[in-house]
Amino acid sequence: MSKYDDASWHYGSDFPEELPIKNGATHTGMFLNWCINNDFISEEFKEDHEEEIQSLKRRKITGAEFIMDFMDGKFSEYDLNDTGNAFAEDYYKDDTDFGNRFSSFADDYVNLFDTKAEENDYEYETFYHIEDTYENYDLMKQVIDYRFEEWKEYKGLV
């Protein structure tokens, strides 16, 4: 199994003690939320999480809450369908040809929220201090939508 991310990778030594461990999944949750809302999840994932998916789509829970509460903090290839995996392999993973040419998810995430913070005259202490909110998800969603269109062109799918 190829794991894209695991919250436990993040709440180790450099994770701020004052934050809940859920903050280690905020970024992953935003990507998963986008995948769910664009139907890039596997059939097995849909069957296993039918009620939770509806809660996420109704914005009763966030992507990070979904990952921590129903996926044991782990996000893997088994969660996505073929298109979702192809996009995640090129965009979510670090140091890929697509990421180097355009941008990776992590770079987009940091750049977006650093810019937002600067515009509001503050800065995030760490990557993990970015709030797990639907306001932030809606900002990140626009970036992922844009990257997905670039990715389709990159792959010759349009």
| 30 lies in some domain | yes
Q: Is the pLDDT of residue 12 over 90?
A: no
What percent of the chain stands above pLDDT 70? 98
Task: Report, as an integer, the average pLDDT of 73-86.
Answer: 96
Task: Report, as an integer, the average pLDDT of 59-64.
Answer: 98
Give the count of domains, the chain.
Answer: 1
Q: Is the pLDDT of residue 76 over 90?
A: yes
- Which helix (H) or strand (E) element contains residue 5? strand 3-6
| 13 lies in some domain | no
| 71 lies in some domain | yes
The pLDDT, as a whole number, for residue 5 is: 84
Specify the pTM: 0.94
| 70 lies in some domain | yes
| 55 lies in some domain | yes
The parent domain of residue 77 ranges over 3-7+20-154
Residue 110, CA distances (Å) to 3, 37, 106, 114, 123 in order: 21, 22, 6, 6, 11
The pLDDT, as a whole number, for residue 1 is: 55
The pLDDT tens digits for 97-137 are: 999 999 999 999 999 999 999 999 999 988 889 999 999 99
| 143 lies in some domain | yes
Beta bridge partners of 76: 3
| 140 lies in some domain | yes
| 114 lies in some domain | yes
What percent of the chain stands above pLDDT 90? 78
Rounded-to-integer distance, Cα 150 and Cα 144, Å: 10
Q: Is 60 helix (H, G, I), strand (E, B) or coil?
A: coil
The pLDDT, as a whole number, for residue 3 is: 87
17 pLDDT band (50/70/90 cuts)? confident
